[in-house]
Amino acid sequence: MRRHSLKWRLILRVSGLVALAMTVVTLTVAYVMRHELDNQSRAMLDELARSSQIQLENRIAYLVESTRRLADNPFMINGLVDSQARIDDLPKLIDNFHEGTSLSAFALLDFDGKPVFQAHDWLPRFNQSPELRAALALGVTALYSDVESGQLFIIAPVSYYQTTQGALVAGFDLAKLASRHASRSAQAYLRILHPQGVVAQVSYDANQTFISTRLAPAADTPYLGQLGLTLESGLPQSQFDAVMTVTLSRFIGISVILTLASAMIAAGMGQGIARPILELHRRVSRADDGERCSPLGTDDELESLAEAFDQRTSALEAARFQLVQQRDQFEYEANHDALTGLPNRYNFDQRFAELLRQPGVTGRQQLALVYIDLDRFKLINDSLGHPVGDSVLQTVAQRMQLLTQGCELFRHGGDEFMLMVTAPAQLTQLEVLLERIVDTLRQPILMGEHNLDVRGSLGVTFYPQDGHDRETLLRNADIAMYQAKNTGGGHYRIFDEEMSRVAYDRMAIEAGVRRAIERSELVVYYQPQIDLRSSQLTGSEALVRWHHPERGLIMPGVFIPIAEESRLIVDLGEYVMREACRQQAQWYREGRAPGRVSVNLAGRQIQDPGLPGIVEGILAETGCRAEWLELEVTEGFIMQDPARAIPTLKRLREMGISLAIDDFGTGYSSLAYLKRLPVTRLKIDQSFVRNSALNPDDVAIIEVIVALGNNLGLDLIAEGVETPHQRELLLKLGCFAAQGFLFSRPLPPKELEAFLDALPAPQDRALG
């Protein structure tokens, strides 16, 4: 009976104590929570208003800068003086400017304030505003707000040679501006106030009760201060009351349930059972401190449970430790480059996305991406092997890490690195860093007995003005990097829109040339080569032209350099050679004697050991004889890899094909290599011929080339002969063959046939 009495007393005391404690805690927490919710709501509203104010300031600053740039556009000064420009150009320009903005009114005014062009729905009396007078008189940008219409007006002077000629006035709907660019929740309202009244309001309902806050312009919102605009933001009172009511109700309900549950659990415990269970609980809860759960001292199932728990805990802890190590290792390997230890491309993508989510990146603090590509790494890797290439990459990474502390450096793949810089306010500080990187990459790297020249080209782009996503920014940085590489490498270039336009034009030309080859849009012209002594035709040079279906005739200087940067130049060269050989064979079958046809070879063709087989196949396909063909190659192409080029040229010469060095005298070939080359003719570059009448040095160079050719038993021909004086000078110096506009421009096949038919029959028809 005593045991039952003790049991019930324990139940009542423990249950009552738990219920009382939970009730006190519930009431205390409810009071604190309500007070805290109220404070947080007020703070959130202040933060929301502040964020809206900053975003509105930034958008106004963007519109002011955009309007200034639009006023500086050459089309604006044209619009002031040219009515046709106002019809053709200004509407398109204004439509582009209108996209993405809240533009509601636009006008172009002359210096007297009279509108010469206006667009959109409404035009105020601009010429009555003192801001317009200030803009025209002082040549500065002015802005003001109109309470009656709810508009923001920006007046930017239009200048020509630093003289104000007129003004551009753009009106923006402040209500739309606030709705689109000021952050707020769906239930919040926003009002823009002026001392004269309400300028604009978004989602405001006068019939509702709001909790609101009002922010006056601050030091970091100068445009709002200049306009005298105050920002007011608020949320419905009912929204706060509903949140507080629901939160407190749920908390009180949960607390009541927990109180009852705790009382029931306490009531169910017996004194004898509770003690060992609580002890086991205490030991389990402190297992992380190293205390074992056994022995418990009960010598029953609880003791066995404690021993099993100790064993399982030890095994789980060992497994957990191993898994943590493996997870850390996998995470590191997934985010870092194994060779250099730098963060890898995946890490770059994650980090870039993380930075874009951070507040403030789109404001004054810009994000700069620097694309770094090593200029000569492929040559080093191919010639010295991958182990040396790996060591070079490690050395370059270490050097750049020392320079870029405080920035984030990534290995983007291969010999490419990416530097992420939170750009300082002054661009010159970033440029100093870029110059240091370029100078460091120019420093030789000592690898054994090799002193390696690596160098690097850098392309720089900025977020957000150059793009808002990773793909766009990477493409722009890559375009800027290739611009630096195209200027010789070892430099940096900062991206601008002109680079993008040039890159797109180059891609369009490259794709167009590929289609032109497939559709036979390319036409081969022939420039006659004349014997200066007999005025007879000795041959012609095949020159390609592109008859574009839309752009008309395109000269080779536009598309040949682009084709040379890709494998496309090989296809283009084979196309020209095949067409020239076909035409040559046809002329000889018709009984004409056109002499040899000269076809230019590109560098990629010279470096291809399979070139002789390709030429042999073209000759067999077209029926052209080897002695009717001459191949021209420049000195630079040969000297890029003479060990590979010379055997190829010898095989072509053994086939009976004549070989000529084009633009001789402008390259850097040595006499030692010249003696080994199986060439039959030297072509004197037109730059020497063109300046020979004015520059005695060019005459001396021609004399040396003629003497060199005669001593080596080589034929000579001069390019670019345009005057009788140049012809006489070449004859006097001993050069007896030439081509140029003095004799004929490059001609299509039919016109060359007429040219050939007009000449007296040549005496020497050995080539036929």
Task: Calculate mean pLDDT across residues 539-561.
Answer: 76
Judged against a pLDDT cut of 60, whether residue 765 lies above it is answered with no
Give the count of domains, the chain: 3
pLDDT of residue 138: 81
The token duo for 87 is: 């019809």
386-409 pLDDT per residue, tens: 888 889 899 999 998 888 887 889
The string of pLDDT tens digits covering residues 656-690 is: 999 998 877 665 555 656 677 888 999 988 888 88
Asked whether residue 9 is domain-assigned, the answer is no
Residue 274 confidence (pLDDT) above 60: no
Q: What is the pLDDT of residue 270?
A: 52
User: Residue 597, class by beta-carbon neighbours within 10 Å (0-12 exposed, 13-18 middle, 19+ buried)?
Assistant: buried
Please report, for the domain that includes residue 170, its CATH number.
3.30.450.20
Looking up residue 441, the CATH number of its domain turns out to be: 3.30.70.270
Pick from 185, 214, 237: which residue ends a domain? 237
Under a CB-based contact definition with an 8 Å cutoff, are residues 437 and 424 in contact?
no
Cβ-contact 169, 114 below 8 angstroms: no
Q: Both 447 and 526 in a single domain?
A: no
The HSE-up count of residue 120 (CA atoms within 13 Å, CB side) is 22
Q: pLDDT per residue over 54-68, tens digit each?
A: 888 898 888 888 888
> Per-residue confidence at 417, pLDDT binned at 50, 70, 90?
very high
Q: Is the peptide bond before 464 cis (omega within 30 degrees of 0)?
A: yes
In this structure, of 61-65, 224-228, 641-645, 744-748, the range with the lowest mean pLDDT score is 641-645
Task: Give the chain's radius of gyration (CA, Å).
Answer: 42
Q: What is the pLDDT of residue 276?
A: 60
Q: Do 489 and 519 lie in a common domain? A: no
How many helices and strands in the chain, by DSSP H and E? 27, 25
The last residue of a domain, from among 237, 267, 296:
237
Q: What is the CATH number of the domain that holds 535?
A: 3.20.20.450
pLDDT per residue as tens digits for the range 156-196: 898 887 788 888 898 888 888 888 877 666 677 888 888 88
Name the pLDDT band for 501 (thresholds 50, 70, 90): low
**Cα–Cα nearest to 717, from 729, 704, 700, 730:** 730
Helix (H) or strand (E) holding 49: helix 2-72
Mean pLDDT, rounded, for 456-475? 87
In contact, 185 and 168? CB cutoff 8 Å: no
Q: Tell me whether residue 539 is in a domain.
A: yes
Q: Could you tell me the two tokens for 206? A: 């006068």
The first and second tokens of residue 622, run together, are 């077209």
Mean pLDDT of 648-658: 91
Tell whether 27 is covered by a domain.
no
Higher pLDDT, 657 or 306: 657
Same domain, 422 and 530: no
Split at pLDDT 50, 70, 90, the class of 504 is: low
Q: Taking the CB of residue 335, how many other CB atoms lie within 10 A of it?
A: 16
Least confident stretch, 592-596, 617-621, 641-645: 641-645
Distance, in Å, from the CA atom of 393 to the CA atom of 391, rounded to the nearest integer, reads: 5
Q: Domain range holding 405?
A: 345-495
323-337 pLDDT per residue, tens: 887 887 788 778 888
385 lies in some domain: yes
Let me know if residue 322 belongs to a domain: no
Higher pLDDT, 206 or 709: 709
Q: Cis check for the bond before 124: say yes or no (omega within 30 of 0).
A: no
pLDDT digits (tens, 9 = 90+) for 104-134: 888 888 887 788 888 876 555 655 678 788 7
Q: What is the mean pLDDT of residues 272-291?
A: 60
Query: Is residue 580 pLDDT above 90, yes or no?
Result: yes
215-244 pLDDT tens trace: 889 888 898 888 888 988 888 877 767 777
Whether residues 512 and 585 share a domain: the answer is yes
pLDDT at position 737, please? Answer: 93
- Average pLDDT (541-570) is 73
Asked if 470 and 554 sit in the same domain, the reply is: no
Domain presence at residue 260? no
Domain boundary among 470, 495, 520: 495
- At residue 4, does pLDDT exceed 60? no
**387 lies in the same domain as 521:** no
Of 261-270, 363-372, 648-657, the one with minimum mean pLDDT is 261-270
Q: Average pLDDT over the chain, rounded to whole? A: 80
642 shares its domain with 751: yes
**Residue 99 in domain:** yes
Q: Looking at the structure, do residues 533 and 664 belong to the same domain, yes or no?
A: yes
- In this predicted structure, what is the pLDDT of residue 351? 87
pLDDT at 84: 84
Task: Say if residue 485 is in the same domain as residue 531.
Answer: no
Give the residue from 633, 624, 615 showing the smallest Cα distance to 596.
Answer: 624
pLDDT tens-digit series, residues 360-386? 555 545 788 999 999 888 878 877 888
CA 393 to CA 399: how far, in whole Å?
Answer: 10
Amino acid 9: pLDDT: 66
Report pLDDT digits (tens) over 714-736. 899 999 999 999 899 899 989 99
Rounded distance, CA 657 to CA 596, Å?
Answer: 10
Q: Report, as an integer, the average pLDDT of 691-706.
A: 82
Taking residues 41-50, what's their average pLDDT?
80
Q: Residue 273 above 60 pLDDT? A: no
Judge if 530 and 480 occupy the same domain. no
Shared-domain flag, residues 209 and 61: yes
Same domain, 491 and 574: no
Higher pLDDT pick, 256 / 472 = 472
Residue 189 lies in a domain: yes
Helix (H), strand (E) at residue 487: none
